[in-house]
Amino acid sequence: MTVDQRQLDIAGLNLDDDDPLEVILDEPAKPPAVVEKLIEEAKAALTAQEKSEKRSLSLVVVGHVDAGKSTMMGRLLYELGQIDEKKRVANERGSAKMGKSSFSWAWELDGTQEERERGITMDIALQTLNTPHRIITILDAPGHRDFIPNMISGASQADSALLVVDAAVGEFEAGFDRGGQTREHLLLVRSLGVSQVIVAVNKLDQVEWAKSRYNEIVQLLKPFLVQSGFHPSRTKFVPVVAMEGVNLTRREPADCPLFKWYEGPTLVDLLDALDPPTRDINAPLRFPISNIFKGTTSGITVSGRVCGGIVVAGERLRIVPGDESATVKLIDNDGESLPWAGAGSNINLILTSVDPVSLNIGSVLCRPGSIIPLTFSFIARIIVFDIQIPITAGTSIELFHHSLDVPASISRLISVLDRSNGNVIKSKPRVLTKNMSAEVEISLRGSLYSGPASRALPIPIEPFSVNKEMGRILVRRGGETIGAGAYHPLRAHQLRLIIGRLGVVMELLT
Q: What is the pLDDT of residue 500?
A: 47
Q: Coil, strand, or helix at residue 384? A: strand
DSSP symbols for 56-109? EEEEEEE-STTSSHHHHHHHHHHHTT-S-HHHHHHHHHHHHHTT-GGGTGGGGT
CATH number, domain 20-49+279-366, options 2.40.30.10, 1.10.1660.10, 3.40.50.300, 3.40.50.2300? 2.40.30.10
| Angle at CA of residue 306, ends 330 and 491, nearest 5° | 150
Is 29 in contact with 327 (CB distance < 8 Å)? yes
Q: How far is CA 242 from CA 109, 148, 267, 410, in A?
A: 14, 24, 10, 43
CATH number of 374-494: 2.40.30.10
Q: How far is CA 469 from CA 159, 229, 286, 344, 404, in A?
A: 11, 17, 10, 10, 13
Torsion angle (degrees, nearest 10) of CA 336, 342, 343, 345: -10
Q: What is the pLDDT of residue 121?
A: 45
Average model confidence (pLDDT) for the chain?
Answer: 82
- List, for residues 206-264, the tens digit of each pLDDT value: 999 999 999 999 999 999 999 888 999 999 999 999 888 899 998 888 889 999 999 99
Is 28 in contact with 138 (CB distance < 8 Å)? no
Show the beta-strand stretches assigned E in 246-324. Answer: 287-294, 300-305, 310-312, 316-320
Q: What is the pLDDT of residue 333?
A: 87
Q: What is the pLDDT of residue 11?
A: 46
Q: What is the pLDDT of residue 446?
A: 76
Q: What is the pLDDT of residue 447?
A: 63
Name the packing angle between helices 211-228 and 181-191 (round to 10°).
40
Which has the closest alpha carbon to 384: 206, 191, 152, 119? 191
Element (H or E) spanning 496, and its range? helix 492-509
Angstrom distance (rounded) from CA 330 to CA 58? 21
For residue 239, the one-letter residue type is P
Q: What is the pLDDT of residue 373?
A: 95
Q: What is the pLDDT of residue 117?
A: 47
Sign, CA torsion 74/79/82/87: positive
CATH superfamily of domain region 53-272: P-loop containing nucleotide triphosphate hydrolases (3.40.50.300)
Which has the closest alpha carbon to 188: 488, 487, 486, 481? 481
> Which residues of the chain register pLDDT less than 70?
1-27, 84-125, 141-147, 179, 295-297, 447-454, 490-510
Q: Mapped to the 3 state alphabet, what secondary structure does 386-402 carry?
A: CCCCCEECCEEEEEEEC
Q: What is the pLDDT of residue 270?
A: 96
Q: Domain-by-domain residue ranges, the chain?
A: 20-49+279-366, 53-272, 374-494
Domains 20-49+279-366 and 374-494 share a fold: yes
Angstrom distance (rounded) from CA 290 to CA 364? 10
For residue 20, say if its preceding peptide bond is cis, omega within 30 degrees of 0: no
Bridge-based pairing of strands 374-375 and 480-487 is: unpaired
Q: What is the pLDDT of residue 104?
A: 61
Q: Mapped to the 3 state alphabet, what secondary structure does 191-251 carry?
A: HCCCCCEEEEEECHHHHCCCHHHHHHHHHHHHHHHHHHCCCHHHEEEEECECCCCECCCCC
